[in-house]
Amino acid sequence: MIPRTTPQTLTVNPLKDPAANPSEYPASAPRVIPRTTPQALTVNPPKYPASLPRVQVANHIFNPTTGQLETIDTLLAGLNSNVWRQALSNELGRLAKGVDNRVQFTDTIEFIHRHEVPVGSKVTYANLICDYRPLKAEPNRARLTVGGDRLPYPQDAGSPAVTLIEAKLLINSTISDAANGARFLAADIKDFFISSPMEKPEYMRIHAKYFFDDICRQYDIRRQYDIRQKIASDGFVYIKIKKGLYGLRQAATLAYQHLVKNMKPFGYFPCPSTSGLWRHKDKKTKFCLCIDDFGVKYFTDNDKQHFLNALKTCYTISIDEEGKII
């Protein structure tokens, strides 16, 4: 919050104050009442953890003193630099092959030498997005995204997603069939986008200053990353993207195609002529998909477990049995 400055006294007439010397003003002269200076504004201290002297607004972090949007560089240079250094290393380890056994890794990216980039392949930039999510297990979050605008992708990158009408129809039909045993739950796929393999890899680079000792030292020993040996002459580490990653144009459609492939053996398929409704070939189970969130209508516990087991076969999921949170 930026403290409000005290405004100057407003001058509305160049004449002197009549109260100080009334003889200089005729009775008909307009009287001017100076504006009083307001009392100093008392600002209550912000209500967020003392360990995080930042204000989180609309999925961004703003500095409470300057009011300016924080970046990864300002956070790394700020009071809680150690917190954000670990958050950044966790993200790189999560996308690669881990870091100090702190995170579950996905093997989405691979750190490579510059000469390993195929001739003719475009190399894009990386964006580091920071956020504060108090309800998450890791509230200080740094996310690596790809500058997808620099990478060509001539195919249609659109991905079917449920419409508001379709979601309402599914929920309303669950309520209507409640007397017949219909129930509703919600589920969320963890790392939905970064779990989708790509036939053709993409490439990006990230500056070496974002690789700290915890990720460099450990994997120099294990010979998995060799970050220090992979820093190019331009000061960047080059990265091979092997799975869908946030920012890629094709990430959403790859995730959708991967889901269709994974759910088909269990009898689930998209409903024709809809955007995001799915059903089972034999069971009465139906669900809608919005990005990586599922709303599921089912009738029996066996049907519920059948659906959840199908997801768990290929994904890590979170479940809201009452369909209220996710």
Q: For residue 287, list its beta bridge partners.
A: 278, 296
Per-residue pLDDT band at 50 (split at 50, 70, 90): very low
Could you tell me if 306 and 255 lie in one domain? yes
Residue 123 burial by Cβ neighbours in a 10 Å radius (0-12, 13-18, 19+)? middle
Note whether residue 17 is domain-resident. Answer: no
What is the model's pLDDT at position 196?
86
Average pLDDT, integer, range 18-45: 43
Alpha-carbon span 40 to 81, nearest angstrom = 33
**pLDDT tens sequence across 10-31:** 444 444 444 444 444 444 444 4
Per-residue pLDDT band at 64 (split at 50, 70, 90): low
Per-residue pLDDT band at 86 (split at 50, 70, 90): very high
Could you tell me if 277 and 147 lie in one domain? no
**pLDDT tens sequence across 160-170:** 788 999 999 99
Could you tell me if 287 and 189 lie in one domain? yes
Which residue in 243, 54, 212, 49 sits closest to 146, CA to CA? 243
CATH number, domain containing residue 168: 3.30.70
Sign of the C-alpha dihedral, residues 280, 170, 178, 322? Answer: positive
Alpha-carbon span 47 to 26, nearest angstrom = 57
Could you tell me if 142 and 230 lie in one domain? yes
Helix (H, G, I), strand (E, B) or coil at 47: coil
What is the model's pLDDT at position 169?
92
pLDDT at residue 147 tops 80: yes
Per-residue pLDDT band at 155 (split at 50, 70, 90): confident
Identify which has the larger pLDDT, 48 or 197: 197
pLDDT at residue 184 tops 90: yes
**pLDDT tens sequence across 89-126:** 999 999 998 888 888 888 999 999 999 999 999 999 99
Write down which residue in 210, 243, 276 finishes a domain.
243
Note whether residue 12 is domain-resident. Answer: no
Strands laid side by side in the 109-112 sheet: 109-112, 236-243, 197-207, 123-132, 140-146
pLDDT at residue 83 tops 50: yes
Structural element, H or E, at residue 240: strand 236-243
Mean pLDDT taken over the chain: 79
Could you tell me if 183 and 106 lie in one domain? no
Could you tell me if 73 and 175 lie in one domain? no
Give the residue numbers spanning the domain of 269. 164-193+250-320
pLDDT at residue 287 tops 90: yes
Could you tell me if 231 and 140 lie in one domain? yes
Could you tell me if 87 and 148 lie in one domain? yes
What is the model's pLDDT at position 12?
41
Note whether residue 81 is domain-resident. Answer: yes
Q: Please tell me the total count of domains within the chain.
A: 2
pLDDT at residue 60 tops 80: no
Note whether residue 99 is domain-resident. Answer: yes
Could you tell me if 72 and 133 lie in one domain? yes
Could you tell me if 69 and 111 lie in one domain? yes
Could you tell me if 142 and 172 lie in one domain? no
Average pLDDT, integer, range 258-263: 93
Identify whether the C-beta of residue 255 lies closer than 8 Å to the C-beta of residue 193: yes
Could you tell me if 141 and 276 lie in one domain? no
CB atoms within 10 A of CB 220: 15
Which residue in 186, 290, 285, 194 sits closest to 247, CA to CA? 194
Average pLDDT, integer, range 257-262: 92
What is the model's pLDDT at position 67?
67
What is the model's pLDDT at position 277?
94
pLDDT at residue 5 tops 70: no
